[in-house]
Amino acid sequence: KDGRFVLGLMHKNYKDLFINTFLFQLFGVNGLYILNLISFVFTLILIYKLGKYFDLENRFINLSVLLYVFGMTASNYNFVFHELTFAIFWITISLYFLFLFFETNKNIHLVLFTFLGAISLFFRFEFIFILFAAGLSLVFYKRKNIFSVILFSILGLVVPFFFLLFLNLKIHNHPL
């Protein structure tokens, strides 16, 4: 109640920045699972949309969705409070915008790819390897306009990255 920690979710100076704090106040402990469930469902929708984007047959799309539901541990994390489901949602929507950028060449999609990918790093820092691999695909795809790709990628990364460093500095007295 005093804002120090609620199951390790928040720091006293940042209690209003966390969605789970709001859900906890509304629904109690059960509210902590709502964000995981919503993230899980939206990730399923994104997997379906990505399958349609790549013109996969419905049986392969259904297989992809079923493998995500039953073949990964993400569905198990809906029963315990864990950040994996939420992080997978952010990295999946990030990759969705990367594929949109490949199709449309709109810089806003590139900024959203890096911005949302950087948000996923708040929860699972190892997703940096996924972002790095996706970034390499940009280098090979856009060889002629590499300067603009780098510029717009950096624009999307700046705000979340420095916000992450700021929070780490305030919470742990060290930016990393």
Closest CA to 119 of 97, 137, 103, 141: 97
Tell me what the pLDDT averaged over the chain comes to: 79
Among 101, 103, 74, 76, CA closest to 89:
74
Task: Give me the residue label for tokens 């929070």.
Answer: 167
**Exposure string for 54-77, b = 16+ CB within 10 A, e = fewer:** eeeeeeebeebbeebeeeeebeeb
Kindly report the pTM of this predicted structure.
Answer: 0.76
Give the pLDDT confidence score for residue 13 in this predicted structure.
43
Tell me what the mean pLDDT of segment 99-124 comes to. 89
More confident residue, 23 or 127: 127
What percent of the chain is modeled with pLDDT above 70?
82
* Listed range (15-24, 69-78, 124-133, 135-144) with the worst mean pLDDT: 15-24
Residue 12: the pLDDT is 44
CA neighbor of 49 nearest in space, from 72, 30, 68: 68
pLDDT at position 173? 74
Confidence of residue 46 (pLDDT cuts 50, 70, 90): very high
User: Scanning the structure block, which residue is given the tokens 């109640």?
Assistant: 1
Region 49-68 average pLDDT: 92
pLDDT surpassing 70 at residue 104: yes
Question: What pLDDT is recorded for position 94?
Answer: 94
pLDDT tier at 119, thresholds 50, 70, 90: confident
Cβ contact 176:165 at 8 Å: yes
